Amino acid sequence: MLLKTKGLVFAALLLLTLGVLFAPGRSSAFETLPNVTPEMLSPDFWTAKLPDPDSLIMDGEAIEAFNRDILHTLPDLVYDLTSYPASLDSNQLTEKITRRPFPEEDRYSNGIKVEQSFYEYLLQQMNLPGIREQNSVTPALTVRRTSIRTFPTAAESLEEPDDHDFDLFQETAVGPAEPVLLLHQSLDGRWYFVQTYNYNGWMPAADVTLARDRQTWLDYIQPGNFLVVTGNRLKLDNGPDPGMELTMGTRVPLITEGTAHGQTYTILLPARGKDGELEIMTALVPADADVSVGYLPYTRANIIEQAFKILHEPYGWGGLFNGRDCSAFVMDIYKSFGIMLPRNSDEQEKSAGLTVRFTDADRNQRHTLLDSLLPGASLYTPTHEMLYLGRHQGRYYVIHDVTTVGDPAHPNPDGSPGPLTLNKVVVSDLSLPRRNGQLFVDALTSAKQLEYGSKLVEPALDYDHEVEVFVNGSPVTFPDQKPYLDESAGRVFVPVRFVSEALEAKVDWLAESQKVVIIKAEKIVTLTIGEKTFNISGQDYPLDAPAYIENSRTMVPLRFISEALGAEVTWKQDSKGNVVDISL
C-alpha cells in the first residue's frame, strides 16, 4: 500500500482524473505498454529462463524460521497472535488507538467538506473513557471480507470532493476466516478495535465472531490439516454464507480430502451465532478448485505462477472495491507459501530477507545489482512495490499492481510524459517512466529476496573479484585462498576458517565426513561440504549456496557468517575496491 501522504494521494487523484484506462485504439496491456509482447504475459515465458525453477527455496521449517525473523525485525508491526498478551494496560491500549491523528487538511465525504464536529463525534465513538486500567484481549475470527478503518466509521475521507477511489480512512481489507484479536469497542458497539497479525484499526462488529474460549480459537487457527486457496479467488456456493469469496493465501481447516463421491474437500468456516458467538460450519470445495492441501512448495516457478493468476485484475486502494494495491498483491502471493509479510510496502522493505540497496547507484550499477537478483524478488521505489520477473534482451521486467505511469508517446505540453492510467496488474519493464518522468529503474531504492537470513548488498563503483575483509575494524589476513565476489550469483565467498577465528571461534575439520565444526561459546555450528544447509546446536538452516573446497580451504557464502555466528555483515566500496565489514 502506498504511503499515505497528502502530496502522493493528490498526485494519484489527479492522474486518475486526467488519464484513461487505455489510449484510443489500444485495447490490451501488451499493446499499451512498450517492450511487452503477448508471450511475456504467460508465466511459462519467465520460468523457462530459469535453470531450475522447481527447486525448493525454503522448506516449511525454513519458512517458519523466516517468519520468526520477520517478527524479530518488525516487533511492533507483525505479531504472533497466539502469544499476544491476554490484556493491555490503559497506556498500551490508548497509544494504539490514538496513534493515527485526525487529518488537519480539508477532507470531503459524499462531496461535502467534513466539519470539525465530525471528528469530535469520532473521538466520542473511540470511547477512550471506556479504557480500563487493564483491558482483556478477546480472540475472534472474521466471517466475511471486511475492512480495517482508521476510525470507527464507514464514511469516506477524500482529498477531492468528486473522487471516491482513494478513501484515506481505508487502511486494509481482511478476508474471511482471518484470526483477529478484539482490543476495544466503540461507544455505540458497532465497531471493534482489532489486531490482525500485521495490522490494527477499527473493524465492523457485524463482520466478526467471538470465540467462546481461547482453546476453540486456537484449534481453528492451528489445524492439523488445512487447505490453502492458491487461485486468485475461490467463490463458495454453499456453507454459512453462500457466495463467500476466499482470496489467494486464505488458510482454512480441512476435515476430509474427498468424500464418498470423490468430488469435494470439506472445510470449516466461522459463522456468527445469534449473539455474535463463534459457530463452526462446514463447506464443500470442488476437488478441481485451485487449492492446495498445505502450503504450496516455495519455488520460483510457483512464485511466478501465483503472480500471473492476478494479471489484469483491477487495482483497489487498501482493498477497496474488492481489489488489491501494490503491496497486498505481493503479500497475497507469498501467503500461498506460508510467508507472513507486513502489510505496507515501506514495512515490507524493512522486513527480513536478502536485501539489495540501490541508493546512490548509477544506471550501470543498478543493472549490475538487478543481475544479482532472482525472479520473485520484491522491488521498491519510495511509493511503489513490484515483483521482479527477470531479464530479457537487456531489459528488466516486473509484474505489479499499478495505478498510473508515464506515457512518452502522448507527452504533456511541457514535454513530460502524459499520464497513462492502468489501475490493474500489468507486466512492464523498468525503462517505463513513472508519472514524474523518472524511469522506474532509476527510482528503485531497494530489493528484497524472501529467503531465510539477511544480507546487505550496496552499489559499488567497480565489481572486481577481489574483496577485503575486516572483522571489528581489523583486516583479516588470508595467507593462500582469498575471498572473492562471484559476480554471476552476486555472492561473496570467504574462507570460513580465517573469518571464524577472527571472530574468536574454534574451527575443526572432519575430513572423513567432509564437515566443518565451528564452536563459539555454547554455540556449535556444523557445515557439510556440498550441502545447502548448516546446523546450529541441532537445528538445520538453509544456505543460499553450498560450501565447497578451493585450494584446500572451505569457502562459504558470506551470509553464512552472519547467520551462524550472529555477526553483522556490510558490503561497501571504498577507494581500494570491494570491502566487507564484519562486526559483533
Question: CB neighbours (10 Å) of residue 365?
Answer: 18
Which is it for strands 233-235 and 245-247: parallel, antiparallel or unpaired? antiparallel
Phi, psi dihedrals of residue 3, rounded to the nearest 5°: -65, 140
Q: What is the pLDDT of residue 25?
A: 30
Cα first-last separation, the chain:
35
Which residues are registered as beta bridge partners of 58?
298
Low-confidence stretches of the chain (pLDDT < 70) are 1-32, 258-262, 452-466, 486-490, 551, 562, 571, 573-577
The torsion angle over the Cα atoms of residues 146, 148, 154 and 156, rounded to 10 degrees, is -120
Cell numbers at residue 580, please? 566487507
Number of Cα atoms under 13 Å in the Cβ half of residue 350: 14
**Chain centroid to CA 551: how far?**
41
Q: Where are the beta strands (DSSP E) in 69-160?
A: 87-89, 108-109, 112-113, 134-136, 138-142, 146-149
Which residues are registered as beta bridge partners of 353?
454
Q: What is the pLDDT of residue 101?
A: 96
Nearest to 536 by CA among 514, 563, 508, 498: 563
Residues in CB range of 308: below 8 A, 6 or more apart = 41, 42, 43, 399
Q: What is the pLDDT of residue 557?
A: 83
CB 227 within 8 A of CB 258: no
Residues in CB range of 285: below 8 A, 6 or more apart = 227, 234, 236, 264, 265, 266, 267, 291
Nearest to 209 by CA among 236, 188, 182, 234: 182
Residues in CB range of 220: below 8 A, 6 or more apart = 141, 179, 211, 253, 268, 270, 280
Neighbour-count burial for 261-281, b at 16+ CB within 10 Å, e otherwise: eeebbbbbbbbbeeeeebeee
CB 168 within 8 A of CB 158: yes
Q: What are the pLDDT digits (tens) for 345-401?
A: 999 999 988 889 998 889 988 998 998 899 999 999 999 999 999 999 889 999 999
Cα 121 to Cα 155: distance, rounded to the nearest angstrom: 12
Give the chain's domains with CATH numbers.
15-55+340-457 (3.90.1720), 85-293 (no CATH), 467-583 (3.30.457.10)
- Burial, 362: exposed, middle or buried (Cβ in 10 Å; 0-12, 13-18, 19+)? exposed
> What sign for the dihedral angle of Cα 334, 340, 346, 351?
negative
> How many helices (H) does the chain have, and how many strands (E)?
14, 40
Nearest to 233 by CA among 223, 242, 245: 245
Q: What are the pLDDT digits (tens) for 509-523?
A: 888 788 899 998 888
Cα 100 to Cα 122: distance, rounded to the nearest angstrom: 13
Q: Where are the beta strands (DSSP E) in 95-220?
A: 108-109, 112-113, 134-136, 138-142, 146-149, 170-174, 179-185, 191-195, 200-204, 208-210
